[in-house]
Structure 1
Amino acid sequence: MTDINKTILQSLGSGLVGACALTVLHETARQFIPDAPRADILGMRAIKKVMESADQEPPADDELHGWALGGDVVSNALYYSLIGLAKPENAVLTGAALGLAAGVGAVALPGPMGLGTAPSSRTTATAAMTIGWYLVGGLATAGVYALLKRR
């Protein structure tokens, strides 16, 4: 396997771990914390919006929820896999920057995109958790990437 192929696999794998950590955190916290961010609702709204603009009938909410979670994992894994552009010694800083940027985007962008603001920023605590949890995803990505690059 060439070095570039190995780096791509390490980046994608690390990004997948970060994305899964983020999704598990979101899905677990929403069961117990009233002000927890609802990335699942944002995903469901985005899918509905795209499908309706294409004159397609969105699936029922239960199925749509699964689509949203799958879409979150895939899109966040690809985003977090940008860690591979960093030097291994800068993995933690890069993971933190990726996480913070994603978290700020998750708070700031849904409103202008027509998805509503409540799921990610209805309260100050919700907005802080949103940013913090994307940071956790970025740091999980960085930890796995640094570990894989040492091997």
Structure 2
Amino acid sequence: MAKSGKSSALPQALGSGLAGAIVLNVVHETVRRIRRDDAPRMDLFGERGLRKIFDKAGVAAPNHKTLYYMTLAGDLLSNGLYYSFIGRGKNAWRRGALLGLAAGVGGVLLPGPMGLGKAPSNRTPQTKAMTVAWYLLGGLAAAGASRLWSKARK
């Protein structure tokens, strides 16, 4: 018999957060290969951020392929943890939408002030819209995974 209560809340939150992060990254990676001119390139922000960290540490950055995979792993981890805040319960859909929208808007507005450039998420109006839409989709995917998890446990 399955346990209920708080002991299952953390695995559910982390698992559904990871599901949202996977959906987000699959969409980003797929669309960037199809729409090369205006697709969001959030991977470039991650690579730039890692390069800055390596520079500050006085260490040579790894080759492009290794840096790309490090960025992808970091995206899955950070977005999975972020989306895990959606949690569970009847308000998961609302939290998923709000957190997804907040992440998308942040993805458009914050990279410039953070010194990571603007173009990868801000190149065209379509790029901006896709950035917000993909993060919203990730939030909704995490909420959906959480709701499915809850239903499966009943």
- Tell me if both proteins adopt one fold, taking TM over 0.5 as the criterion: yes
TM class by smaller structure = over 0.9
Aligned partners of 2:70, 2:83: CA distance in 1, in Å? 20
Matches within 5 A, 1:7-18: 7-18=9-20
Corresponding residue of 1:144: 145
Hey, what does 1:110 align to over in structure 2?
Answer: 111
**CA offsets, 1:110-147, max 9 Å, x none?**
00000000011111110100000000000000001011
Taking the aligned partners of 2:57 and 2:7, their CA distance within structure 1 comes to: 37
Distance 1:28 1:98 in 2: 22
Counterpart of 1:99 in structure 2: which amino acid? G
- C-alpha separation in 1, matches of 2:9 and 2:41: 33
Which one of 50, 53, 56 corresponds to residue 53 of structure 1?
Answer: 56
**Does residue 74 of structure 1 match 2:90?**
no
SS for the counterpart of 2:94 is helix
- Cα distance in 2, alignment partners of residues 50 and 3 from structure 1: 40
Structure 1: 5+ residue runs without aligned partners?
none
Pairwise CA distance, 1:3: 2.4
> Secondary structure at 2:100's aligned position in 1?
helix
Query: Where in structure 2 are the equivalents of 1:1-40 lying within 5 Å?
Result: 3-33=5-35, 34-40=37-43
- Deviation, 1:2, is 6.4
**TM-score normalised by L of structure 2:** 0.93
Match in the other structure for 1:90:
91
- What amino acid is aligned across from residue 132 of structure 1 in structure 2? A
Deviation, structure 1 residue 56: 1.3
Letter in 1 for 2:92: A
Alignment-derived partner of residue 42 in structure 1? 45
Counting matched residue pairs gives 149
Aligned-partner SS, 1:146: helix
Q: What per-residue deviation string (whole Å, max 9, x for no partner) do you get for residues 68-125 of structure 1?
A: 11100000000000011xx511111110001000001111110000000001111111
Q: CA RMSD in A?
A: 1.1
TM-score by length of 1: 0.95
